[in-house]
Structure 1
Amino acid sequence: MGRILVTGMGLISAIGDTVAENRRSLLAGHSGIGNAVHLPSKYTATLPFGEIKKSTEALKDAAVSAYPEVTRTDLIALQAVREAIKDAQLSEADLRSHSTALIGASTVGGMCLTDQMYADANTTTASGSPFLASYSNSASTLFLQSFFDIGGVVNTFNTACSSSANAIMYGARLLQNGLAERAIVGGTDSLAKFTINGFNALMILSNAPCRPFDNARKGLNLGEAGGFIVLEKEENIAPSRTVYAELKGFGNSNDAHHPSSTSENADGPYLCMQEALKAAGLGPEAIDFINAHGTATENNDETESVAMLRLFDKVPAFASTKSYTGHTLGAAGAVEAIYSILNLLHQEVYPALNFETPIEKTGLTPVDKYEKRSLRYVMSNSFGFGGNCSSLIFGQHL
């Protein structure tokens, strides 16, 4: 069985509308976390967010006029998938083929329209809300399937913050088992009152830009993004095609400890990293860099550090890019997979922002300045609520 390769990438986040723009911001150490101007919430006056700089109306174009129920979540996904499809040189015939899969992920879905749904439910009209069809978690994937006329397997993941990492994993398994020849995989989430209120109730939102792995970290900043990559089997790729990286291995586990926290000994994070290494046929010493989950919450950063100390005799260089984009929830795994691929492609690592002092219990220090490094394998971690933990390993394409 041939290798699984990345042939296309698409990305929109608080630090750029394309993959190239995102990299420029990473190189410049430019964070997109700040005042939100498009989000209708009382918390925009007191909390920073990783908001995409375009309004919902600006994200629309004539092509989506046939979809009156389209949401901000859908539009963010659309921009990322368009870029990935173009980058991978996929034709309309490719997209219509039964051998092309689309695996999406989201936690917000259409919940960005909760206010509209509530208002409609309290009117006297009998026709129901026009937003009902777009409210589900899977609505963005179904919109993309219809918009691009995808002919193969279509599925949606909602495993909280590991959602799009699991979408990538699932797409790879489709290829491995001969159920697809190519897979468009990733995730999307928009900022929404529903999630802001939920995270605020958990008391894990920071009133300042987040500080991953810092001893004085105060919590996370919510963000929004869409990230998708195209996976293809090596034997189906013409020599003239661009290949960015190899998806070398992946692992998923669940520590079944708590609805929103990982256990003190970090069983879930440890086991998913261990499984990813086993699937890749690599030892821990082979990992050159880790794009850490790094939410800047008290629990995550400490337990992720514990897991790394358990697994690695010498912890590799690591950092969290959530200090640039905020925590983009269901999109985070795909966003950070793309950043990991950029690490390999350009042989460089992007620093953690706002870091000053290591966590007292673990003493680990993330990369705090831009560096050129020799990188062969990069690991990307995504840990979700309910203890669902996933790790991806990307290898340099040689």
Structure 2
Amino acid sequence: MGIGVKKNIYSLENNLSGISSRPIVLKSKLNLPVGEIHFTNNELSEYLTIPSSRHLSRTALLGIMAVKEALSNTDFPKNARVALVSATSVAGMDLTELFYKEYDKDNNKGRLRDVKMHDCGTIARVIAEYSGINGYVSDISTACSSAANAILFAAKLLKYNVADYVVAGGCDALSIFTLNGFNALKVLDSDICRPFDNSRCGLNLGEGAGFLLMQRDDMPYTEKYCTFAGGVNANDAFHQTASSDSGTGAFLAMSNALKNADILPEEVSYINAHGTATVNNDASESAAFLRLFGNKSMVPHFSSIKAFTGHTLAASGGIEAVLSAIAVKNGYLYPNLNFSNPIDNFELVPVTHFSDNNQVNCVVSNSFGFGGNCTSLIFKK
């Protein structure tokens, strides 16, 4: 879709999906469409004007890029406490895979320093180092809800006066490990995915990063997009990878997030749905919508952007939080690509065309992960 907010909004406005079956970096025998950022690691380093290094993972590079954009045009007060909460699930797997290839050929080869960035915490530390963040640094890894949980944690750091400003979100790069893993689960589509469509049959994996700059109300404002009104992390303890048919996890997350934000269901303007386009997720999330809002006529505007980005795993909640904040500020509604027919028994129709100048006062952004880890965030004017 592009690097930076402006290019991503342009892609959404013009139905330009970032998913392709011809990746330039990821090399896989599966030949499946993915949402790859079409820059090599060396090109990303050059774009960031930092030295190219074999030991800097792609996940970290994507994170540095997004954090630098979040911090652009900021002028923090002297002695301001600036923190970072970064989420990832893939972490430095791309470098670990390079190590494994060499080690597999000859177990006397393979450089252990290539796996120094394998763990999630190192990604957060490196992003902070390259972005000039010297305050509190932490990492969250809860599968596909990771970045949303990072934002929840960031809000607590602000509430309890641990920091004055927090950069929060997530980043993940494509890897053979995750592609093979999701293929083993038989949830990948061989074509571009179709969220909330009756013919949906799976997701596409993607990569990316998205971070918000959050701050306490008593601090001088950087550019303000919206207010983070609240959020909740819930778990239905239903299955290791599947959501319940009744959508209990999603329902608990959304309903309690609205209570946490002191907002009624009828006050919601738009839902940024998790909408992975798997048979299970979209049916479960649809069931949760109906449980929360009562009937299909009461369900607000909703859509999934996964047919643009692919499922970016831990990064998805950060990317979609950024877009949710922009939706509140500019009145945007984002299109749900490739929708033709509503899911049987639910009959819910998502937004299918980009529009602006809408009255978007409150957005619910959903991120649901393996293990039943469900998070909903609330953004309002």
One fold, TM greater than 0.5? yes
Q: Distance in 2 between matches of 1:148 and 1:340?
A: 24
66 and 353 in structure 1: CA distance in 2 versus 1, 3 angstrom threshold: closer
Q: CA deviation at 1:120?
A: 4.6
| AA aligned opposite 1:344 | V
CA contact (8 A) 1:184 1:230 kept: yes
**Matching residue of 2:35:** 50
The correspondence for 2:129, drawn from 146, 153, 156, is 146
TM-score (norm 1): 0.90
Tell me if the contact between 1:244 and 1:345 (Cα under 8 Å) persists in the aligned partners: yes
Shift of 1:118: 1.3
Aligned partner of 2:333 among 341, 349, 355? 349
Q: In the alignment, which residue of structure 2 is the partner of 1:291?
A: 272
Alignment gaps of 5+ in structure 2? none
Q: Output aligned runs, 1:249-398, within 5 Å.
A: 249-313=230-294, 314-372=298-356, 373-396=358-381
Kindly indicate whether residue 13 of structure 2 is the aligned counterpart of residue 27 of structure 1: yes
Distance (whole Å) between structure 1 residues aligned to residue 191 and residue 9 of structure 2: 24
Q: Which one of the candidate residues 40, 58, 68 is aligned to 1:72?
A: 58
One of 55, 75, 83 as aligned partner of 2:69: 83
Q: Is the 8 A contact 2:99 2:110 kept in 1?
A: no
- Residue 227 of structure 2: SS of its match in structure 1? strand
Q: What SS does structure 1 have at the residue aligned with 2:34?
A: coil
CA distance in 1, matches of 2:342, 2:224: 37
- Quote how far apart the aligned CAs of 1:125 are: 5.0
- Which residue in the other structure is 1:225 paired with? 208
Asked whether 1:137 is paired with 2:124, we answer no
Runs of 4+ displaced beyond 6 Å: none
Aligned counterparts of 1:84 and 1:149: Cα–Cα separation in 2: 13
* CA deviation after TM superposition for structure 1 residue 242, in Å: 1.6
Change (3 A) 1:146 1:68: farther
Q: Which residue of 1 aligns with 2:27?
A: 40
Measured at CA, do residues 217 and 124 of structure 1 come closer, stay the same or move farther in structure 2, by a change above 3 Å?
Answer: closer
Percent sequence identity is 41
TM-aligned CA distance change 1:124 to 1:350, over 3 Å: closer
Correspondence for 1:155: 138
TM-score by length of 2: 0.94
Number of residue pairs matched by the alignment:
374
The letter of the residue matching 2:95 is L
- Match for residue 45 of structure 2 among 60, 63, 76: 60
CA distances 1:69-108 after superposition (whole Å, capped 9, x unpaired): 10111111111111111143448x66xx5x2111000111
Instruction: State the AA in 2 paired with 1:118.
Output: Y
- Per-residue CA deviation, residues 38-89 of structure 1 (Å, 9 max, x unaligned), is 212112x3x1111112111100138533865101111111111111111434
Partners in 1 of 2:109 and 2:192 — Cα distance?
A: 45
Q: Which residue of the other structure, out of 56, 75, 98, is the alignment partner of 1:116?
A: 98
Aligned to 1:237: 220
Distance 1:51 1:359 in 2: 28
The letter for the 2-side match of 1:309 is L
- 8 Å CA contact 1:88, 1:230 repeated in 2: no
2:228 is matched with: 247
Aligned Cα RMSD in Å? Answer: 1.8
The counterpart of 1:104, out of the listed 62, 82, 86, is: 86
- In terms of mean alpha carbon deviation, does 114-123 or 346-355 score higher? 114-123
Q: Distance in 2 between matches of 1:154 and 1:193?
A: 28
- Structure 1 spans left out of the alignment, 5+ residues: 1-14
One-letter amino acid of the counterpart of residue 35, structure 2: G
Instruction: Give CA deviations for 1:109-146 in whole Å, capped at 9, x if unaligned.
Output: 01122322213545465895121211112221111122
257-266 or 295-304, larger mean C-alpha shift: 257-266
Distance 1:166 1:81 in 2: 17
Residue by residue over 1:346-368, the C-alpha shift from the partner in whole angstroms, topping out at 9 and shown as x without a partner, is 11201100000000021111011
**1:168 equivalenced with 2:155 (yes/no):** no
Q: Which amino acid aligns with 2:359?
A: S
Confirm or deny: 8 A CA contact 1:377 1:394 kept in the other structure.
Answer: yes
Cα distance in 1, alignment partners of residues 174 and 247 from structure 2: 29
Q: Residue type matched to 2:141 in 1? A: N
- In structure 2, the residue matched to 1:198 is 181
